[in-house]
A and B are shown apart, each in its own frame.
Chain A
């Protein structure tokens, strides 16, 4: 396997007496699409926040893109892309302005930014709407744009937090084509999702239950291991005994 882009060792986060993430250990290889699954409240978001440097771990070790999650959060942030479940561009700005802003805060030069921006608008077929406020565009387009914007500064690793929430299967499929394109260029993808068909698209999948990683393997191996037809069955088998409910 190629070098590890994410490496965790007994990574733990407690909130008071509640252990949100309980000694998780895993590694993500370069160029991999790593699915990070779990029911609501299983600890996915907390784990993701620790990996993106937004939340300090309570104990355990982890490196992201080669940087330590305790001490080198700034370097981590510079080297990752991030797209959140909630649609996360500015609705009152146009696509072109959004591109310019996010490129700008990642320190891209203006000529580089203009060139990249135009190429991006071309490839997304957004030239016609480039100066319309984002609020008027369909959600699927916005998500594609958000994904592309998150890759603007050419990070090695991108975190996608439920990137396809709320769109139809066809749009979702197209979105995944974009993810595959990115991995072809060597980008590592760390993705959370609630759609089990999407879990099938991942190279490897981990399933969190009650703050722990209950299973981690390729979708094919997981199905075999749990004697299941689909990832959905695997997930339900694992998540049913969960003690934590919604939340």
Chain B
């Protein structure tokens, strides 16, 4: 135990002494969250909306009123025909046009189905998607208010995503992904670098020749980063809660416990990387390309998994962040408990045990 404490204390010295490490560890999570929270906001406001109403009845007018009373959409004029849409977009006068088919109320009454179309400027797909989603939300809101069985089928379907994030606040979506990214970066990248640094400087040899067991070396390397990563989780969650008002609807203790599990997964990956490389440079490259990129791109953080090509969907299964993301979103936004999330938790657990066993085994093999 005495040896172990000596080891952990030394690791903390390393972290605090190296300004770059300290900056990445503590500055990055806060910076990232603020960046994602403020600068890269995805929600749109002041959507200039045109109306092409070929029906002019009570229902279309009610939907139009509802749209403009939300505050997000600004009335940008009435259009007479579809031909006017493209020029309006091109001139930048409008970002969106809502089209109602002729005899909208009549069809709704008669067939139970009426069609409206939401046309958006596809040159900015992100904004388009959000605008469309928002419009759909307003329409389904209206229909829900009518509480009329036949009317509910009109036009657009309700999109389940919006249930938990009615205003499509991007910070809700970013926070879980950001947590995964930061933990991956801090845990995997930092441990792999700190172990390979000892290999480079020759001190690893010294540690191995000492009476420390390989397991002690690994655990001694892991513990400081485990603690620091946990501090980061708490920081990110509280920043998200107090600064951006992201709710945590589920059990906070469960969220922290699941985060600890994910940190362990990332740490074991970091150790695994350091067992196969001998230089800090390579360890950094492998961590960034092999861990961070998939975490950002394939976990569902930025791109939804169900819209990926199937090979990528298959690959996404082996990315720990994918499962962690489901867990965090479940707990924070949906208030889910372990009864719902046990499958994802188990997946992470199995991954961690496998990685850990593999890396300890690899590490324990004598040098060369």
Residues of A that sit less than 8 Å from B by CB: 15, 49, 52-56, 74, 77-78, 80, 82, 84-93, 97, 100-107, 109-110, 133, 159
Given A90-B14, A105-B7, A107-B2: A54 and B211 interface contact (C-beta under 8 Å):
no
What is the CB-to-nearest-CB distance from A57 to chain B, in angstroms, rounded to a whole number? Answer: 11
Q: Is the CB of A106 within 8 A of B213?
A: no
Residues on B with C-beta less than 8 A from A89 are 203
* Docked pose: A87 CA to B203 CA in angstroms: 8
| Interface flag for B56 (CB, 8 Å) | no
- Measured CB to CB, the nearest residue on chain A to B217 is A105
* Docked pose: A93 CA to B3 CA in angstroms: 17
* Docked pose: A15 CA to B368 CA in angstroms: 9
Secondary structure dominating the interface of B: helix
* Docked pose: A190 CA to B212 CA in angstroms: 22
Given A77-B211, A88-B205: A105 and B366 interface contact (C-beta under 8 Å):
no
Q: Is the CB of B7 within 8 A of A84?
A: no
What is the CB-to-nearest-CB distance from B366 to chain A, in angstroms, rounded to a whole number? Answer: 5
* Docked pose: A86 CA to B204 CA in angstroms: 11
Residues on A with C-beta less than 8 A from B18 are 92
* Docked pose: A49 CA to B6 CA in angstroms: 25
Q: Is the CB of A101 within 8 A of B211?
A: no
Which of A90, A92, A101 contacts B6, CB < 8 Å? A101
* Docked pose: A72 CA to B207 CA in angstroms: 17
- Measured CB to CB, the nearest residue on chain B to A50 is B366
What is the CB-to-nearest-CB distance from A99 to chain B, in angstroms, rounded to a whole number? Answer: 11
Question: How would residues 209 to 221 of chain B score, 1 for a CB under 8 Å from any chain A CB and 0 otherwise?
Answer: 1111100000000
Given A92-B14, A106-B211, A133-B17, list of 11 further CB < 8 A pairs? A54-B209, A82-B205, A87-B202, A91-B201, A92-B18, A97-B13, A100-B9, A104-B2, A105-B6, A105-B207, A107-B3
- The interface centre, meaning the residue of B9, B206, B208, B367 with most chain A CB atoms within 10 A of its CB, is B206
* Docked pose: A53 CA to B206 CA in angstroms: 12
What is the CB-to-nearest-CB distance from B75 to chain A, in angstroms, rounded to a whole number? Answer: 63
Q: Is the CB of A77 within 8 A of B210?
A: yes
* Docked pose: A40 CA to B49 CA in angstroms: 78
Secondary structure dominating the interface of A: loop
Q: Is the CB of A56 within 8 A of B3?
A: no
* Docked pose: A104 CA to B206 CA in angstroms: 14
Q: Which of B206-250 contact A (CB under 8 A)?
A: 206-213
Q: Which of B1-52 contact A (CB under 8 A)?
A: 2-3, 5-7, 9-10, 13-14, 17-18
What is the CB-to-nearest-CB distance from A158 to chain B, in angstroms, rounded to a whole number? Answer: 11
Residues on A with C-beta less than 8 A from B203 are 88-90
What is the CB-to-nearest-CB distance from B1 to chain A, in angstroms, rounded to a whole number? Answer: 10
What is the CB-to-nearest-CB distance from A43 to chain B, in angstroms, rounded to a whole number? Answer: 13
- Measured CB to CB, the nearest residue on chain B to A135 is B17
Q: Is the CB of B210 within 8 A of A105?
A: yes
Residues on A with C-beta less than 8 A from B5 are 104
- The interface centre, meaning the residue of B3, B17, B211, B366 with most chain A CB atoms within 10 A of its CB, is B211
15 A-B contacts (beta carbon < 8 Å): A52-B209, A54-B367, A77-B211, A78-B211, A82-B210, A86-B201, A86-B202, A88-B203, A90-B14, A91-B201, A92-B17, A101-B6, A102-B210, A109-B2, A159-B209
Residues on A with C-beta less than 8 A from B206 are 82, 84, 88, 102
Q: Is the CB of B3 within 8 A of A105?
A: yes
What is the CB-to-nearest-CB distance from B365 to chain A, in angstroms, rounded to a whole number? Answer: 10
